[in-house]
A and B are shown apart, each in its own frame.
Chain A
């Protein structure tokens, strides 16, 4: 198993911490992991992205140049990274902020209105974890339970009040992905696409 996931969005969307959550969750399950951040000079409002590699073998290059999955949280991220995804890979995008469809026809696509979903759960700040929940349900890279447990480590103590909202976000994302996949048989060997 080798998953090379690129989380991309703008500063403040929790891009780096969602990536870290995946890394912690997979590490807890005994997998090899690496987390590499890259962000613009401004912490908030600038572009932010991080690459997370999860593998059952030792990781040689931890740099995610050709992601197996792209989680795009805003339009500039989709524009910039859509072309890099490996053929047959997965594109999860935030349809709340992205007003176009994915142009690639050789990748699997799932659009999720992550901001709306997150707001419904209590905080727009958990939107990226809605996407992470969907990713985990589709790929099985780590269990939802490991991700939920890792929240303790990723969130600083003064943010632990947000753990329940984050757990709900992970579950909601997983539910959305499973509902769609069971309906369409989407995540099997073929190429599928679910867009608004």
Chain B
């Protein structure tokens, strides 16, 4: 991360974002008062389990919320300008050029009826004044950069002629070709194998660093996030329960939910051959988001919950944490009445 990050203005400032869905089953507050800043060049991990609202934050930023969903309130300041509630025409100028998105399933993100070449050049045709020949040259260069062999021939191939990993490389090429300032990657490697996943995470990081792009990495995979991100935001039932520097969140989580997520991942701790340790588990299930309990949404599953937790919503409070290595103070915020003590 750059040194001037402390002074520079955030590229993206999300304030009190509320994205609600009016379904027949009731009101779904998929995102309910989420705020965060993203500095230029910063990689932020958005983690949580299904139903946490992490994808909906990405969709809200991209202006992809359709009825019955609505951005109910809050601001999404991109480069100093509020883009929440822009019209479709206005969003189209930003989408693809300024903000690009990578989805989980590369097959549904690509149009099966067009060649890869068409789809890569489309972004350039929309957002630049390059000639057809220049666009083709750029597309070849980009395919080469994302590690697709024989890019000249591959341009005329259709998505079905690529493997899953190769398709996701094409999607990355499309996302990065206009050099966007913000890349939102929603579970980009979840559908892929471990060896391919590592290749693609490296590729994305390299692309983002090369172009100075900021990135929001949305995933349920804490391990993958901890490998990539500068900061981590943990979501539960549409709200931020904890955010802070990545190393700090992983090494010293303050929220019981974050702690629970980390401990749920099976990891080898002891060297002994003795009987297997039980995994520490979070009891119960993620509650129905339409019928959230009063107070803290995590309280029914939390071992530290008190009467206060069941009555009063905890607010996100900042503590200062020292980011490893840099020695700089960076905020670590947690929404909990009884946060875990910082272990030495």
A-B complex is real: no
Residues of chain B touching chain A, judged by Cβ–Cβ distance below 8 Å, are none
